[in-house]
């Protein structure tokens, strides 16, 4: 034992922070000087001690909450016209509701953490098994895990009850993959020859594990450990009675914890619009406060108004600083008008999103009966974003297809074999052999079948022999295809693979497995035949090609040396492994190819067509080769047979890529000019948009990298004019880059990404909305998505129906909140002109407090949960209705201005209508007395509550019993509360201003008359406007409402003319001539490359004359 060498290595790594653990079953003095702590796993955010301060800090980071906190503090510090309760109570309600919600969610995380950390485990202490809790496991402990138990920490496999030292596990809780995986122990650890084990800090990638084990027996050895030797926390032991492993990473240092991260916060377009509106209303608030302050000082410039006889100033008031007095008055007006900013908007929006998200899971149309899976919502903050999608980026395998590989045929030495009645026969022959007979296999066929049977990672469950796990879908397809010719895969272990051919067993020794990776797109095995020869069997998955290579003993020694050197490398291990794989996988003998079929999912073509009619462009991003990707795109309707397909493939240089893109731009520009030319308008005026000639683009990963490097604008110009884009040979990061490219373009379109595999996670996280498919490639996509569905066909209803509903609900909710608050505060502002800007409030403090919390909150909440502008069947049958709400149309500046001006208009009617009908010159009570200030304010408030509630009723199209209950119940509750509040003397109130006021108001017939007249005056124009537009200028949505109510077909649909085909052929002929001329000018140098973009504008002007 070279102790000095080991000591030097340990101290060096420990000082750099790279040494995570030292395990030793020897007494080595210098190891005792190193200390390692117990790390506990937790996912909770709060503790009982930091919940209040931490939660308050997070909540007051929200601008609206912080704003109302400042208003509340101002009310406490200076003399303001309203009680601090008017701001403090709503703020307290909002903070409390949010804190309860977040506290409950964190309590669930605490509960889950306690279950994990308190689980019983067995560890080896002093040579015997001791039961303890998983949170007490220390780095270096030897842990025993029994069958079907979950690994409590990250373990290095030391031994198992199997003779070969292997074990089988499932990682369903980590990546969702339910297939069995084989993990191995090193020979020395299986026999416990180990004396010292060193672990180094590794990356947080599940597939990366750069760790070396130093085994001390007679001298110091190095043995490689990789992912196949690591048992990750959260995985489950299968088909193995028990294993022993050494704990190397615990708690938050385990790989599962390192890979746990909160998804980046996504903000919807509605939330951004809402924040913009808040800023505008904050500007209105500041304007009203500043104007009121200025007018107050202008009004009180005269002495008789500055100091009337009933309100003489004190000496301190006369000597106070004018600047401080101006600031104090400004803050007082700010407090008086602060309710124009709706604090309850945030709480209502959160409740709407949280409760509304349940409707997706409850929708039976989104339930997949075969897999017993329903749609799930992982992020309710983006519900309304489903109604704004403009681009859909989808994976192919497992998303558009079933990801179930079925063997169909193969080619061996140039001869095609196909399946006939469960048997493989050469093409052109029939299956006339008796049942159960075996065809005679010769050299090429036998070698091919051996390669198919031996080159895979399929595992068989010993408890359930019919259950086969592990491997990939291609291996399963080819492995099962071998059974057609009586070549069956029985078992595969670390030492041998048995293959059944004819009546005998043949034993092959498995030497090495070269695992599949996305760069090589293949996997290989090195086997030793019974005769002692070494053979490489290679299985290329993407192209499904089978090949082999035979090694001489000398060649195998060199191959083994390369592999071991790469696997034991401490630096650049991946690069050296790739070099070794490249050295081995060469000079191959082609054996044949297999043909497998991956069927399209049900209704994929109808779904893509519906999305296209809805104005949504679909991009397919796949790692498959060009031919396969184009074939699937044509099959699923992504590409049409009549579509012009532009191909950007195999570009070798920037200039070549730029020239091709310029040709495409010229072509697409000519199409646009021709179709928009006035001489052609009479041809196309009656043609539906979906019948206009469409274009598709095919681009591979290499060409895409060139296009995005220097010619991003050109590429985007081509893509924007294409109805469908197909990107093949794409790496996962390229998928995310394409999504980011569209997402950050000047138009800022809303993007949606959908996929089912781990390679789609980056794309899903990058898009505005990410949707995971519950497929067969694990659950990583589902766990990192915002929404999850079982099949691609459910995407249509998710967007066209649920997206439509969520958007119109939340858009109306936001606009209505601002509208009713304008109605609420504007009379306060107008009243100041009648009270000499003395900051007298028009409403009682209780009404100020309860207006947004009780009197007007429930109707809009119920509306935002149940409103349906159009019946769901109509939305699915007419995808074009989706366009009516696209581009955030219901929250545009135009609609915002309409609701704001409507609020000001109604507020003026409330105030001046009440003033005229119940003014100072009118005697309203039977005893000759007139109503006072509080009665007038209560009348305005009563009219306002009734009007804003009935205004929402006019906007409601889908009435349920809950809508009726909260609409009429809110009005009734206001009257009952006001009678109760004004009918009792409240001892804890300083004044009894409202005592008997409401009773007096309702006892006056003039007051009832005023309420009815004012409410009708406000709402009658809205009724007239709705009737006018519905019958004379209906929108497509209103037309659909009429047709559904009357139960008839759409009378407004337009059929395409019969001559469309002839026009298209002439169109293509002219375009071809124009394209040939313009391309020739460009490529021959007449159009300089650096001036090409400028010349495009010149050509667009000249093209009209040319085409005419």
Binding residues: 395-397, 516, 542, 622-624, 729, 735, 756, 759-760
In sequence order, which ranges of 686-793 are alpha helices (DSSP H)?
A: 701-710, 712-720, 732-743, 761-766, 780-783
Torsion of CA 972, 974, 976, 981, to 10 degrees: 180
Residue 774, number of CB atoms within 10 A of its CB: 20
How are beta strands 401-412 and 589-600 bridged, if at all?
antiparallel
Going 153 to 156 to 158 to 159, the CA torsion angle's sign is: positive
Helix (H, G, I), strand (E, B) or coil at 341: coil
Confirm if 794 and 375 have CB atoms less than 8 A apart.
yes
Distance CA 842, CA 989 (A): 18
Residue 539 backbone dihedrals phi, psi, to 5 degrees = -130, 105
CA–CA dist 545, 410 (Å, integer): 10
CA nearest to 64, candidates 852, 944, 989, 1052: 852
Residue 394 and residue 735 in contact, taking contact as beta carbons nearer than 8 Å:
no
867, two tokens? 């409103």
The whole-angstrom separation of Cα 267 and Cα 328 is 37
Burial class (CB in 10 A: 0-12, 13-18, 19+), 587: exposed
Whether the Cβ atoms of residue 637 and residue 400 lie closer than 8 Å to each other: no
- Which positions ≥6 away from 269 have C-beta within 8 Å? 384, 385, 388, 750, 888, 891
Task: Report angle CA 106, 112, 117 to the nearest 5 degrees.
Answer: 120
User: Would you say the C-alpha torsion 42, 47, 52, 53 has a positive or negative sign?
Assistant: negative
Task: Report helix, strand or coil for 79.
Answer: coil
CB 152 within 8 Å of CB 143? yes
Question: Alpha-carbon distance 151 to 169, whole Å?
Answer: 10
Instruction: Choose the catalytic residue: 154, 329, 395, 598.
Output: 395
Which positions make up the binding site for ATP? 395-397, 516, 542, 622-624, 729, 735, 759-760
Maximum C-alpha span of the chain: 122
Residue in this structure with the two tokens 């409401």, named with its chain if needed: 998
321, 322, 328, 334: CA torsion to nearest 10: -160
Exposure letters 556-579 (e unless 16+ CB within 10 A, then b): beebbebbeebbebeeebeebbee
How far is 551 from 588, CA to CA, in rounded Å? 11
**Sign of torsion over alpha carbons 339, 341, 343, 349:** positive
d(CA 156, CA 213) in angstroms, rounded, equals: 10
Q: Within a 10 A sphere around the Cβ of 179, how many other Cβ atoms?
A: 21
Stated length of the chain:
1108
CA dist 1028 → 225, 269, 418, 808 (Å): 77, 31, 68, 22
Reading the block at residue 1043, the tokens are 């047709």
Residue 943 in 3-state DSSP?
Answer: helix
Smallest Cα–Cα separation from 518: which of 261, 735, 209, 230? 735
Phi (first) and psi of residue 162, to 5 degrees: -85, 145
Query: Tokens 């909150």, residue?
Result: 857
- Structure token digits, residue 471: 């491997």
State the Cα–Cα distance between residues 687 and 1045, nearest whole angstrom: 28
Is there a contact between 235 and 174 (Cβ–Cβ < 8 Å)? Answer: yes
Q: Is residue 395 annotated as a catalytic residue, yes or no?
A: yes
Residues designated as active site: 395
């Amino acid at each position: 034992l070279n102790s000095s060498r080991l000591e030097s290595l340990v101290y060096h790594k420990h000082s750099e922070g790279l040494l995570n653990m030292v395990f030793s079953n020897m007494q080595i003095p210098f190891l005792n000087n190193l200390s390692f702590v117990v790390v506990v796993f937790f996912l909770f955010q709060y503790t009982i001690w930091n919940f209040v301060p931490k939660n308050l800090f997070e909540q007051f980071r929200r601008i609206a909450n912080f704003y109302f906190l400042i208003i509340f503090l101002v009310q406490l510090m200076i003399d303001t016209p309203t009680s601090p309760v008017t701001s403090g109570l709503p703020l307290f309600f909002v903070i409390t509701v949010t804190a309860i919600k977040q506290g409950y969610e964190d309590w669930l995380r605490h509960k889950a953490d306690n279950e994990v950390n308190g689980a019983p485990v067995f560890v080896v202490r002093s040579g015997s098994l001791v039961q303890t809790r998983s949170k007490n496991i220390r780095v270096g402990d030897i842990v025993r895990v029994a069958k079907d138990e979950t690994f409590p920490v990250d373990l290095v496999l030391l031994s198992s009850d199997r003779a070969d030292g292997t074990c089988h596990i499932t990682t369903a809780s980590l990546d969702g993959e339910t297939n069995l995986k084989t993990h191995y122990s090193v020979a020395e650890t299986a026999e416990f020859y180990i004396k010292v084990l060193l672990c180094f800090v590794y990356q947080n990638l599940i597939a990366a594990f750069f760790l070396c084990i130093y085994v001390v027996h007679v001298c110091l050895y190095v043995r490689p450990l990789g992912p196949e030797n690591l048992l990750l926390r959260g995985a489950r032991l299968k088909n193995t009675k028990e294993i022993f492993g050494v704990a190397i990473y615990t708690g938050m240092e385990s790989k599962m914890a390192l890979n746990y991260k909160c998804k980046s916060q996504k903000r919807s377009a509605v939330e951004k619009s809402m924040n913009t509106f808040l800023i505008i209303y904050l500007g209105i608030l500041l304007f009203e406060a500043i104007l009121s302050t200025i007018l107050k000082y202008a009004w009180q410039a005269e002495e008789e108004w500055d100091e009337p006889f009933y309100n003489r100033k004190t000496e301190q008031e006369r000597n106070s600083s004018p600047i401080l007095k101006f600031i104090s008055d400004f803050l007082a007006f700010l407090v008086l008008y602060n309710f124009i900013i709706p604090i309850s908007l945030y709480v209502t929006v959160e409740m709407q999103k949280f409760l509304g998200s349940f409707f997706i899971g409850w929708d039976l149309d989104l339930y997949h009966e075969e897999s017993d899976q329903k749609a799930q919502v992982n992020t309710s903050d983006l519900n309304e974003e489903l109604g704004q999608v403009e681009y859909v980026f989808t994976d192919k395998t497992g998303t558009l297809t079933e990801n179930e590989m079925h063997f169909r045929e193969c080619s061996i030495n140039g001869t095609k074999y196909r399946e006939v009645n469960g048997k493989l026969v050469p093409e052109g022959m029939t299956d006339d052999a008796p049942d159960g007979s075996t065809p005679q296999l010769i050299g090429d066929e036998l070698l091919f079948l051996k390669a198919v049977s031996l080159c895979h990672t399929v595992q068989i469950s010993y408890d359930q022999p019919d259950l086969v796990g592990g491997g990939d879908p291609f291996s399963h397809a080819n492995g099962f295809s071998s059974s057609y010719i009586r070549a069956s895969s029985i078992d595969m272990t670390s030492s041998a693979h048995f293959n059944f051919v004819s009546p005998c067993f043949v034993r092959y020794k498995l030497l090495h497995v070269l695992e599949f990776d996305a760069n090589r797109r293949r996997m290989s095995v090195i086997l030793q035949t019974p005769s002692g020869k070494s053979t490489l069997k290679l299985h290329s998955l993407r192209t499904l090609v089978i090949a082999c290579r035979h090694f001489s003993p000398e060649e195998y020694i060199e191959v083994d040396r390369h592999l071991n050197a790469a696997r034991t490398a401490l630096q650049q291990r991946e690069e050296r492994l790739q070099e070794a794989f490249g050295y081995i996988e060469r000079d191959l003998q082609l054996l044949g190819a297999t043909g497998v079929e991956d069927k399209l999912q049900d209704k994929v073509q109808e779904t893509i067509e519906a999305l296209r009619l809805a104005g949504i462009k679909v991009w397919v991003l796949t790692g498959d080769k060009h031919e396969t990707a184009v074939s699937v795109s044509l099959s699923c309707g992504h590409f049409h047979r009549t579509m012009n397909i532009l191909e950007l493939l195999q570009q070798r240089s920037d200039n070549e890529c730029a020239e091709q893109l310029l040709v495409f731009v010229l072509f697409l520009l000519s199409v646009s000019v021709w179709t928009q030319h006035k001489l052609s308008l009479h041809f196309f005026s009656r043609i539906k948009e979906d019948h206009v000639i469409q274009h598709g683009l095919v681009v591979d990963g290499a060409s895409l990298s060139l296009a995005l490097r220097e010619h991003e604008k050109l590429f985007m110009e081509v893509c924007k004019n294409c109805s469908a884009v197909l990107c093949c040979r794409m790496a996962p990061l390229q998928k995310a880059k394409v999504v980011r490219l569209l997402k950050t373009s000047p138009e800022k379109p809303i993007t949606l990404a959908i996929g089912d595999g781990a390679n789609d996670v980056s794309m899903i996280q990058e898009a505005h909305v990410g949707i995971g498919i519950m497929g067969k490639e694990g659950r990583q996509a589902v766990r990192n998505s915002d929404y999850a569905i079982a099949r691609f066909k459910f995407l249509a209803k998710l967007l066209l129906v649920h997206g439509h509903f969520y958007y119109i609900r939340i858009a109306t909710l936001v606009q209505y909140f601002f509208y009713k608050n304008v109605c609420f505060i504007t009379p306060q502002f107008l009243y100041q002109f009648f009270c000499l800007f003395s900051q007298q409030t028009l409403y009682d403090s209780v009404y100020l407090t309860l207006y947004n919390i009780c009197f007007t909150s429930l109707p809009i909440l119920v509306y935002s949960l149940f409103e349906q502008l159009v019946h769901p069947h109509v939305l699915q049958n007419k995808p074009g209705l989706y366009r009516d709400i696209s581009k955030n149309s219901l929250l545009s500046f135009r609609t915002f201005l309409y609701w704001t001006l409507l609020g000001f208009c109604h507020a003026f009617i409330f105030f001046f209508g009440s003033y005229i009908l119940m003014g100072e010159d009118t005697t309203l009570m039977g005893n000759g007395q007139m109503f006072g200030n509080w009665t007038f304010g209560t009348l305005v408030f009563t009219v306002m509550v009734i009007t804003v509630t009935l205004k929402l009723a006019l906007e409601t199209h889908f009435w349920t019993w809950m809508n009726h209950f909260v609409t009429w119940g809110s009005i009734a509750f206001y009257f009952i509360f006001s009678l109760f509040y004004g009918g009792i003397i409240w001892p804890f109130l300083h004044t009894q201003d409202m005592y008997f006021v409401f009773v007096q108001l309702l006892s006056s017939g003039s007051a009832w008359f005023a309420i009815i007249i004012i409410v009708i005056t406000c709402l009658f124009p809205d009724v007239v406007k709705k009737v006018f537009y519905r019958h004379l200028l209906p929108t497509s949505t209103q037309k659909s409402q009429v047709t559904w109510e009357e139960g008839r077909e759409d009378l407004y649909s337009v059929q395409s003319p019969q001559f469309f085909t002839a026009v298209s052929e002439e169109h293509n002929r002219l375009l071809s001539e124009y394209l040939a001329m313009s391309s020739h000018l460009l490529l021959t140098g007449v159009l300089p490359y650096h001036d090409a973009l400028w010349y495009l504008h010149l050509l667009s002007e000249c093209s009209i004359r040319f085409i005419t």
